[in-house]
Structure 1
Amino acid sequence: MKALFIVLTLLFPFLSWNQLTDDFSDGDFTSNPVWNGTSTTYIVNAGQELQLNNTIAATSYLSTPHNLTSLDNKQWEILVRQTFAPSTSNFGRVYLTSVSADLSTNPDGFYLQFGEAGSTDAVRLFKMISGVSTQICAAPDGQIATSFAVRVKVVRDNTGLWKLYVDASGGTNFGSAYTGTDAAALTGTHFGVFQTYTASNATKFYYDDVYVGDEIVDTQAPILVSTTAITNSQVDLLFSEPVGGANLLLTSNYTLNPSVVVGAVSVDGTNTALLHLNLASSLTNGQNYTVTVSSIEDAFGNTATNLTGNFSYLVGETAVKGDVIISEVMVDPTPVIGLPELEFVEIYNKSNKYIDLSGWKLGDLSGDGTILSGFINPGQYKILCASANTPEFAGSYGVSSFPSYNNSSDDAILKDNSGIIIDNISYTDNWYRDPIKKSGGYSLELINPNDPCSDSSNWIASTNANGGTPGAQNSVYTITPDTQIPQISSLIAISPNYLEVHFSEGMDSASLVNAVFTSNPNLTVQSVSVASTFSNQATIVFNENLVFSQHYSFSYGSVSDCWLNATTLSGSFALADVPQAGDLVINEILFDPATGGSDFVELYNRSAKVLNLKDLFVTNLDEDTVQLTQNYFLDPGAYVVLTPDSNYQKSTFPQSVPGRFYVTSLPSLNNDSSTIQLLYNSIVLDKVSYREDWHLSLIDDTENKTLERINPEGASSSASNWHTAAETIGFGTPGKMNSQYVSGSVSSTFGATEPIFSPDNDGFQDVLLFQYNFDAGMIATLKIFDNQGREVHTLFSSELLGQQGSFTWDGVLSNNQKAPIGIYIAVIEAFSADGSGKQFAKRIGFTLAGKLD
């Protein structure tokens, strides 16, 4: 109220000096002006109001000279607050003029009464003569029957006409006057306040903004303060003061742009500064309008013309799932690329609705925060962030208890104010599709807002130089529709009679359920189920149980993706069998990659079973273990390469086979020696304890050179069954048959599978494979002689051999030199290991071939 009073006085610098003003802003009532009376019962409080401050029942007053020499054309104004229901025992008076400074003596004069018996309390103006009060005029009954704060203005003209104005809200919008006539010449000398009260109300009288002086004549034309759409058919105009004039109720006096016809105009029943425009047609939601008032007058005849006001008609419409979507998320803002180091979620209104977000929820799986307020218009982006961070993002909306999103994976969930999920994404850091950007500073952006599925394939890291596009169209934005037919990404048969079909994208669930499935061998479908409307998986249940390792070819169609691209898909599947020891073997190893490269371990299915790598463990003897968690089906005779970096292997080894890589971490593989084990349900499927010297001794170094198993059926940890991959194929064959693969058999007790070999590491007959078949275990020695009968190499000496087995020679002599081209003889001598005295000896000839210089 102070500001109103100060503005009032500043607007009229021409007021005469015989006036009284006091707003108690100096904190004192003993000077400027001086108030006298029962001074000890008053204070100026912290709100700079004059306040009664007693502790007992009593009467109190303060008065001050008003310096008026006449009451003609004079004005009185005061703010009165009484925080109780008035009565005959608790009321206040404001003396406009008193012939005595002592207001406790019922002096002659004019006064305002605030409180009376019953509930008809009204602000009343009285004349007091010789102790007899006569009412001149009054405001409405009951206006101050309870606690109140009113501003009162009284004006008397030179004919004795009194006008009483009351603003029951304490403002300056007084409205119409309540009038009465009394021309008595009671000029008096003092203005003051008087209270009668009980002890309980001894501190509940307040006064402020006193003015006594010449009538303040209004020369200002009305101002259009505000224009507000109340409904789609009513617009309210609020002016700075009560309005009137000949054009007041003319509909043609008011025009709206864009055009809406005004059907009727009315004045508010309690506030004559407020007009109601009733429209002949409805406003359009979300539309901005301008209203023009051609002519309007105030009570003093001041006229304003062509007043304009702007307003919007905006009503929240009901949103359904998909109307508002999550379009961008910043969950890992560190390190800073260009945006503030703060998390945010961007939403996009893809509907034609105007949606009020007030009370909506933004959360994750652990809880929700609340969007405090704000609309989102059709086609508009809005940033949601913590309330404290809204200054960092222009036009953003604050969210109380903004979720703390996990960097690696989490759910971002948007709900309306009824708790209904409007959109939900379950992101992982794989959505970035960029190993650098996933480490922080870049947002995840939606690619196509029209994608009906909007799964992981519709998200990617922002390509904007700042790391994101909060509040604007995404850097990866496109609305190009998907025209590609869907594909099957994997098939997982589950015992006893289930088949999971996984697709490359979200699918139309109805098409999956209604499509025809046929197979060979024949299976009859019992049911098809999908998890959601746009699921990328269907589970088919058959009436028959599946046979382990049986391949079933099938046709499934017509099925459609989310965009309704239809196709019939075909393929084959098999129910994986349980692996046993020896079914799956380690077939090739890279343990010494170049700097920046990665190891690999190749597996080979040497069984007749279809095997699933899921739940296998790869371990070393240092308790460094990796579990394979993804489904990967390996047919009999098939190869798969385990590696953390398939791109490195493909670029390093020209003979690598795409599509045969399983990306996974691996246990540590030392360059000098290590052990690799394959485990399933604690069963050791295979175990290789390799050493660096298993490589061909003639090569300079082992970097980016693999060890290949010579014979898949041979011993896993026998040095003679491993050899360096051939140089001519690039020292490695990940995903295909080894370059050093040798197989065959001999019909005798001991022999070589081939009579000739050429150990030049070109991948063709680089080793000589010997095989033996004994009746019992033997202790044996094998030596190599040249065609002159000279011993040139001992392959092994006094080594315990099993009943059956094999070993190889790579053509390297005991002096670590390559044997020359020629004919050689291998001599084996053995005796029984069981002490039976049984002996065996045999010699075989073979040729070591080579290229002539």
Structure 2
Amino acid sequence: MKTLFIVITLLSPLIAWNQVVDDFSDGDFTANPVWTGTSANYIVNASQELQLSNTVAATSYLTTPHSLSSLDNMQWEILVRQTFAPSSSNFGRVYLTSSSADLSTNPDGFYLQFGEAAATDAVRLFKIVSGVSTQICASPDGQIAASFATRVKVIRDNAGLWELYVDATGGTNFGTPYTGTDATALLGTHFGVLQTYTASNATKFFYDDIYIGAEIVDTQAPNLVNATPITNTQVDVLFNEPVGGTTLLQTSNYSFNPSTTVSSASIDGTNQALIHLILSTPLTNGQSYTLTVTAVEDIFGNVATNLTGNFTYLVGEIAVKGDLLISEIMIDPSPVIGLPELEFIEIYNKSNKFIDLTGWKIGDQSGDGTISSGFINPGQYKILCATASMTDFPGSSGVSSFPSYNNSSDDVVLKNNSGVIIDKISYSDSWYQDPIKKAGGYTLELINPNDPCSDASNWIASTSGTGGTPGSQNSVYSITPDTQIPSITSLIALSPNYVEIHFSEGMDSSSLVNATLTTSPNLTVQSIFVQSAFSNQAVITFNENLALSQYYTLSYGSISDCWLNNTTVTGSFALADVPQVGDLIINEILFDPATGGSDFVEIYNRSSKVINLKDLFIANYKDDTIQLTQNYFMRPGSYAVLTPDSNYQKAIFPEAVLGTFYNTSLPALNNDSSTIMLLYNNLIIDQVSYSEDWHLSLIDDTENKTLERIHPEGASSSASNWHTAAEAIGFGTPGKINSQYMTGTISSTFGTTEPIFSPDNDGFQDVILFQYNFESGMTATLKIFDSQGREVHTLFSSELLAQQGAFSWDGVYSNNQKAPVGIYIAVIEAFSTNGGKQFAKRVGFTLAGKLN
């Protein structure tokens, strides 16, 4: 309590020179002033207190001359600390004046007693004459019955009135004195302290801040220390000293802004510096108030007027789900755009409640951190960050063990101090909706805090130039309500009798459960399951099992989204069949995209089945295998384009068909040659071993030019069944029928359905297609002759044929020269592998060209 003692010394102009002042701050009790007695039993400790320091039971004392010439209008003050429960064997005395320097002789004088038998211990003032002690006054019984640190002040006036002031807290709020009268002239010569103790308490007496001298007259008016709301109808007003006066307990003496009515005022029972105000009008939570005290005086009659104090009444209210929202997250702060390179979470108080965050949790998928403290007010944004990061985010609340969030995906979970989840999001880096900002330095921001669903579509990367808006309204903030009706994004039939319906947004679950659902052909609904209140999907169970590859149409209504936009939706679904060899074929390939572009592989369903690509694999011979994990239902005769970048294909190929792209990584497709396989359950559904030589030999550059399959029934790895896509349509047809597509049937064993072709790569009859239908086990040679009977090209030689198939010629000679317009003859010779039956046939055809 050195500060209090310094205040006393500053009043020295009011104090006579015959005084003793000692706070032991010099670390010495042998000088300034000089203390004598059983000196070996004392020290000045590290807290600059005089401390008894013995090891055995004893009685010890120290005294110093007080140099007083009279006891009239004198004052004594001391801080006494005894860290044990006093008793008749363990007590202390402070001699205000003693007739002898040796206190062990029981000298005449006046002393304060600290400790006695039983539990009635009080601070007592005695007069002692010839060994007989007479009590003058005392504080209440039991006040120092346990360990204590008490400041005592004693004043005697010139009429012999003694006033005993006690602050049991060790401060200077002494309150009303305890009084007694004794005018005996026992001036004495010394002031001192004496202790009687057992060995266990031989170090437990402490003294500090001693003053002996003329009465210190208080001329300072009281000050208002603080006003503290205890409840919504009680405010405690604390002054810096005991107060009184005729207006002290008048309710009109106290006024509040904003106004509230005081119904009563009372002084505290133990602290006369503390006033309790009871209000008839409750305080408003979160409201700041100014209290004005019109007039108050201290016990010396010093009057203060118009004292003011400010306070805010703030009580934590119970939060429920939806009151607080996770509104912004920084999970990848590098590279720095403008914000500190630190992770943080921002929450928003959507409610009208004042919420105490102390003990709340913020976590991820692996654990929680604890919010140390802090209120969040209605409409306020609050930053939650690691405790060490608080200086970088003013006004934030620190979190011990702040979670380390994953950049790609994770959960952010906000729980109250009872562990109840108030808000939770499961983010992924796709939420940025921007590949540049996805790389780091930008926050993810909530768009509409009023969105009842608040799914992934309600989040996006910050548009702030600094990368985020921690602690303030989001840069993407919008409270525009959703007026769009929901739609079906996919219908997935699952064996034997389930259908998953996926919607474009979160839905009102009650509308999904209560809506009417019909199908054609007719199915009977057994149940409708919705996982959560605002789920974007429902699972329909039918009583009947679904037929494979049977298309059903569905009507579902009336249903509503989270915003209660109402509609009836329709769609179709089919239970996919299991693909077998040849059901799906590789139909078009881009293996040489421009720099920065991406490959694609087009799949064609040539079966009569509905086939789901999910769980198929696309692979090459180098164990580079990619599983297709997304549902994609292919109707008979439909196409699917597998590619890592559908935007590239749409930009390069004008004939690309929207809605046919399946975004997936692909195995490596080399520019010279590779083998591509389509697999299901380790069964090779189709396989193509392509070569760059399969392109039209007359083109110089294969970049951004696809290879198209000519005949869907032709051999997958036959060069003659592939051709460069037509130039006229942009060298590619992803998602639609090939520009070089040719089909048809022949009635003979060998022939062509179109006896004329024009190989100008314009997409119309660019090749001539030869078809055959032989007995199995035939080996054949096919050559082309011009009208002069000269051999110009060998299409194949001694090749083992299937029972039926097709071959094509692109009008280029074996010497890689373009054939001129004219009549040509195809000659096929075939024989059985056992040397048996032979077959030979000639087919004439025309190579045409455009007139100049």
Task: State the TM-score, normalizing by the size of structure 2.
Answer: 0.99
1:368 aligns with 2:368: yes
What whole-Å deviation, never above 9, does each CA across 1:678-735 have from its counterpart, x for those lacking one?
A: 1111111111111111111110111100111111111111111111111111101111
**Quick one: distance in 2 between partners of 1:159 and 1:91?**
31
**Quick one: distance in 1 between partners of 2:18 and 2:823?**
140
Cα deviation, residue 12, structure 1: 4.3
**Quick one: distance in 2 between partners of 1:115 and 1:589?**
102
Q: What amino acid is the match of 1:849?
A: A
- Percent identity over the alignment is 78
Q: Which residue of 2 aligns with 1:496?
A: 496
Q: Which residue of 1 aligns with 2:158?
A: 158
Q: What amino acid is the match of 1:424?
A: K
**Quick one: distance in 2 between partners of 1:627 and 1:3?**
77
Q: What amino acid is the match of 2:736?
A: K
What whole-Å deviation, never above 9, does each CA across 1:104-130 have from its counterpart, x for those lacking one?
A: 111111110001111101000111111
Q: Which residue of 1 aligns with 2:255?
A: 255
Cα deviation, residue 314, structure 1: 1.1
**Quick one: distance in 2 between partners of 1:605 and 1:145?**
96
Q: Which residue of 1 aligns with 2:838?
A: 839
Q: Which residue of 2 aligns with 1:751?
A: 751
SS across alignment from 1:496: coil
Cα deviation, residue 776, structure 1: 2.6
Structure 1 pair 8–636 and aligned structure 2 pair: CA distance change class (3 A): farther
Cα deviation, residue 527, structure 1: 0.6
**Quick one: distance in 1 between partners of 2:224 and 2:168?**
22
Q: Which residue of 2 aligns with 1:323?
A: 323
The 5-angstrom pairing of residues 516-535 of structure 1 reads 516-535=516-535
What whole-Å deviation, never above 9, does each CA across 1:741-796 have from its counterpart, x for those lacking one?
A: 01111111111121000100000001111011111322211111111111111111
Q: Which residue of 2 aligns with 1:352?
A: 352
SS across alignment from 1:595: coil
**Quick one: distance in 2 between partners of 1:692 and 1:101?**
118
Cα deviation, residue 10, structure 1: 2.4
Q: Which residue of 1 aligns with 2:288?
A: 288
What whole-Å deviation, never above 9, does each CA across 1:453-509 have from its counterpart, x for those lacking one?
A: 001010011111111111000000000000000011111110110011011110000
The 5-angstrom pairing of residues 417-428 of structure 1 reads 417-428=417-428
Q: Which residue of 2 aligns with 1:464?
A: 464
1:613 aligns with 2:601: no
Q: Which residue of 1 aligns with 2:204?
A: 204
What whole-Å deviation, never above 9, does each CA across 1:615-656 have from its counterpart, x for those lacking one?
A: 111111111111111111111000011111111100000110
The 5-angstrom pairing of residues 84-123 of structure 1 reads 84-123=84-123
**Greater Cα shift, 221-230 or 99-108:** 99-108
**Quick one: distance in 2 between partners of 1:222 and 1:368?**
49
**Quick one: distance in 1 between partners of 2:626 and 2:833?**
40
What whole-Å deviation, never above 9, does each CA across 1:810-835 have from its counterpart, x for those lacking one?
A: 00101101100111011111221133
Cα deviation, residue 11, structure 1: 4.5
SS across alignment from 1:337: coil
Residue-pair matches, total: 852
1:711 aligns with 2:711: yes
**Quick one: distance in 2 between partners of 1:812 and 1:367?**
69
Cα deviation, residue 9, structure 1: 2.0
1:735 aligns with 2:735: yes
SS across alignment from 2:511: helix
Cα deviation, residue 514, structure 1: 0.4
**Quick one: distance in 1 between partners of 2:4 and 2:387?**
33
SS across alignment from 1:512: helix
Q: Which residue of 2 aligns with 1:771?
A: 771
Cα deviation, residue 97, structure 1: 1.1
1:851 aligns with 2:850: yes
Cα deviation, residue 306, structure 1: 0.6
Cα deviation, residue 16, structure 1: 2.8
**Quick one: distance in 1 between partners of 2:741 and 2:792?**
26
The 5-angstrom pairing of residues 275-314 of structure 1 reads 275-314=275-314
Q: Which residue of 2 aligns with 1:673?
A: 673
Q: Which residue of 1 aligns with 2:411?
A: 411
**Quick one: distance in 2 between partners of 1:12 and 1:591?**
99
SS across alignment from 1:390: helix
**Quick one: distance in 2 between partners of 1:586 and 1:3?**
91
Structure 1 gap ranges (5+): none
**Quick one: distance in 2 between partners of 1:244 and 1:776?**
122
The 5-angstrom pairing of residues 14-413 of structure 1 reads 14-413=14-413
Cα deviation, residue 335, structure 1: 1.3
Deviation >3 Å, runs of 4+: 11-14
SS across alignment from 1:265: strand
Q: Which residue of 2 aligns with 1:562?
A: 562
Q: Which residue of 2 aligns with 1:639?
A: 639
**Quick one: distance in 2 between partners of 1:178 and 1:462?**
70
**Quick one: distance in 1 between partners of 2:398 and 2:613?**
48
SS across alignment from 2:476: coil
Query: For the Cα contact (< 8 Å) 2:325–2:349, is it kept in 1?
Result: yes
**Quick one: distance in 1 between partners of 2:591 and 2:18?**
106
**Quick one: distance in 2 between partners of 1:697 and 1:94?**
118
Structure 2 gap ranges (5+): none
Q: Which residue of 1 aligns with 2:8?
A: 8
The 5-angstrom pairing of residues 645-656 of structure 1 reads 645-656=645-656
Q: Which residue of 2 aligns with 1:662?
A: 662
**Quick one: distance in 1 between partners of 2:13 and 2:370?**
51
Query: For the Cα contact (< 8 Å) 2:579–2:611, is it kept in 1?
Result: yes
Cα deviation, residue 365, structure 1: 2.3
SS across alignment from 2:788: coil
Query: For the Cα contact (< 8 Å) 2:256–2:291, is it kept in 1?
Result: yes
Task: State the TM-score, normalizing by the size of structure 1.
Answer: 0.99
**Greater Cα shift, 97-106 or 507-516:** 97-106
SS across alignment from 1:40: helix
RMSD between aligned residues: 1.0
Cα deviation, residue 332, structure 1: 1.1
**Quick one: distance in 2 between partners of 1:791 and 1:117?**
136
**Quick one: distance in 2 between partners of 1:776 and 1:319?**
80
Query: For the Cα contact (< 8 Å) 2:14–2:217, is it kept in 1?
Result: no
**Greater Cα shift, 454-463 or 400-409:** 400-409
**Quick one: distance in 2 between partners of 1:650 and 1:7?**
85
Q: What amino acid is the match of 1:200?
A: S
Structure 1 pair 635–13 and aligned structure 2 pair: CA distance change class (3 A): farther
Q: What amino acid is the match of 2:674?
A: S
Cα deviation, residue 449, structure 1: 0.1
Cα deviation, residue 259, structure 1: 0.8
**Quick one: distance in 1 between partners of 2:447 and 2:798?**
70
**Quick one: distance in 1 between partners of 2:637 and 2:583?**
10
**Quick one: distance in 2 between partners of 1:546 and 1:114?**
95
**Quick one: distance in 2 between partners of 1:46 and 1:716?**
95
1:515 aligns with 2:515: yes
Q: What amino acid is the match of 2:733?
A: T
Q: Which residue of 2 aligns with 1:599?
A: 599
**Quick one: distance in 2 between partners of 1:68 and 1:621?**
111
Query: For the Cα contact (< 8 Å) 2:491–2:571, is it kept in 1?
Result: no
